Amino acid sequence: MKCEVCGIAERKEKLIRYSLMMDDKLVIVENVPASVCESCGETAIAPDVLERLQEMIWHSPTPVKVLEAPVYEFEQSLA
């Protein structure tokens, strides 16, 4: 299927890393099936997969691993 965003390339089924912020915590789910455009990178996740992701995140199973990440704030200078 052609990408509806760029119209250039076909979308391919791939496993992606899905991340979101929840209660000021970064949550990462690996190996999520998604449709990804090979040209622009636009990603779409099927509704049933999103439903399973929500269930998993809301019910907080024991994570496979825990990562620590530095956080920076972008400083804007008005030069």
8: confidence class by pLDDT, cuts 50, 70, 90: very high
pLDDT tops 70 at residue 5 = yes
Q: Is the pTM of this model over 0.85?
A: no
Q: pLDDT (tens digit, 9 = 90+) per residue, 13-51?
A: 999 999 998 888 889 999 999 999 999 999 999 999 999
Residue 23 domain-assigned (yes or no): yes
Sign of CA dihedral 48, 49, 55, 61: positive
Residue 69 domain-assigned (yes or no): no
Number of domains in the chain: 1
Residue 77 domain-assigned (yes or no): no
Q: What residues contact 1, with CB distance under 8 A and at least 6 apart?
A: 10, 11, 35
For residue 21, the enclosing domain spans 11-58
Residue 24 domain-assigned (yes or no): yes
Residue 40 domain-assigned (yes or no): yes
Q: What residues contact 31, with CB distance under 8 A and at least 6 apart?
A: 15, 17
Residue 5 domain-assigned (yes or no): no
The per-residue pLDDT of the chain, averaged, comes to 90
